[in-house]
Amino acid sequence: MSDLAVTALLIAALFLILASGVWIGLTLSGVAWIGMQLFSSRPAGDAMAVTIWGSASSWTLTALPLFVWMGEILFRTRLSQDMFRGLAPWMQALPGRLLHTNVVGCAIFAAVSGSSAATCATIGKMSLPELSRRGYPDDIAIGSLAGAGTLGLLIPPSIIMIVYGVSAEVSISQLFIAGVIPGILLAALFSGYLMFWAWRNPTRVPPADAQLTLRQKVHESRHLIPVVLLIAAVLGSIYAGIATATEAAAVGVVGALLISAVQGSLSWPTFKESLFGGTRLYCMIALILSGAAFLTLAMGYIGLPRHLAEWIATLGLAPWQLLLVLMLFYIVLGCFLDGISMVVLTMGVILPTVQKAGIDLVWFGIFIVLVVEMAQITPPVGFNLFVLQGMTRREIGWIARVTLPFFWLMVAAVGLIYLFPQIVSFLPAQMRG
């Protein structure tokens, strides 16, 4: 059979098994097993056992369950309410006023949680009732939250970055540091759009609350101290070279437990719920990663990645054309798969092509995260859309429509990091230096 026929058969098998309701991790293993049985001479069972064990026992992956657990602990504390109280007084003077608490709140929470869905849900529980009570329009409040929630993927620590780092064999610490400036840039673009919206729609912005003095604002900011200390402990230990990503994740878990204990919200049921919640989420991710590792091996034996890379090389695409094609490819793929599955499914095939084009893998990691962020807010399988649909009971099409401006801002961010790659490479270069 030709490579095209083999690819078509395996893609058909993938969607057929997914459509039958089988878990994604098992689907990936099943497709890999079919590929090896039909198109390779190596015994599929032996290869599956060795690959899945090797993938599941990777030390690099240890950071993942710890960051997931840290996010679960914070999700169940008073941190979110305290963040709103600390941020709100400083937002009143900006055009758009308290709408900026969505963006700034998501940016801050993203720095202590690696999950887009957790960031969106946590800040949403805090901000949406408050914004609604104060008279802010639902469309811009929900749209900005859906867009800003994706910062959970870009601002470190990020689960997607860990998954990419493991898949591409790139330093996770380098990826974390590379994500800082693009994360701030994206947050600034979101806030800039909110100011523009407020300027265009002055009658839809409620009047400011009673003005506080500088001393009163500073006093309210004390509520931000716990989260700032936690961010400093986690990211500072990585940037200072004191801790690896895994050790910093352990620091984050201990810090989150201490914060919740000091706040008085750490009880045995809370601890148990956070541990079980983190375990469930990590087991799902680990199963997907194991299945994807086996699929990558199977693809290697069949020779598809090499042939695809050679075919794309014959097209003579310039790097920008290759990136444009990949961006469109991931946006379409994001309509059907979640971000983690997208990354682990495609890395084995895409990376040889990217390396051949001379694209830096750390920069490409940030590019991938930005494109996966777009997929979080594109229907029908946009995770942030699902989270907000559950919280607001709105139709998913309406939520997708009000989120569209933030999708285009992410496209603009991709253009900016392509035109100015130093946005990504500056901090990692300082760390190496």
Q: What is the pLDDT of residues 134-163, one digit of tens each?
A: 888 889 999 999 889 888 888 887 888 888
Q: Which of 357, 353, 364, 373 has its CA nearest to residue 421?
A: 364
> Higher confidence at residue 127 or residue 197?
197
Q: What is the per-residue pLDDT for 151? A: 86
203 pLDDT tier (thresholds 50, 70, 90): confident
State yes or no: pLDDT of 313 exceeds 70.
no
CA distance 90 to 211: 10
Highest mean pLDDT among 3-12, 83-92, 302-311, 395-404: 395-404
User: Could you tell me if residue 6 is inside a domain?
Assistant: no
> Higher confidence at residue 7 or residue 164?
164
Q: What is the per-residue pLDDT for 309? A: 61
Domain of residue 386, residue span: 23-36+43-432
User: Could you tell me if residue 98 is inside a domain?
Assistant: yes
> Higher confidence at residue 41 or residue 363?
363
User: Could you tell me if residue 80 is inside a domain?
Assistant: yes
Highest mean pLDDT among 47-51, 111-115, 294-298: 47-51
Q: What is the per-residue pLDDT for 363? A: 94
Q: Could you report the per-residue pLDDT of 57-74, keeping only the tens digit for each? A: 777 677 778 877 887 787
Tokens of 112: 């202590």
In this prediction, residues 337-365 reach a mean pLDDT of 82
In this prediction, residues 108-133 reach a mean pLDDT of 76
CA angle 63, 69, 70 (to 5 degrees): 85
Q: What is the per-residue pLDDT for 339? A: 74
User: Could you tell me if residue 187 is inside a domain?
Assistant: yes
> Higher confidence at residue 94 or residue 308?
94
How many domains would you assign to the chain?
A: 1
State yes or no: pLDDT of 402 exceeds 80.
yes
User: Could you tell me if residue 1 is inside a domain?
Assistant: no
Tokens of 40: 């390779």
CA angle 144, 329, 171 (to 5 degrees): 80
Q: What is the per-residue pLDDT for 365? A: 93
User: Could you tell me if residue 9 is inside a domain?
Assistant: no
pTM of the model: 0.75
User: Could you tell me if residue 16 is inside a domain?
Assistant: no
Q: Report the percent of the chain where pLDDT is more than 90.
A: 14
User: Could you tell me if residue 18 is inside a domain?
Assistant: no
In this prediction, residues 39-52 reach a mean pLDDT of 80
**Mean pLDDT, all residues of the chain:** 82
In this prediction, residues 47-64 reach a mean pLDDT of 78
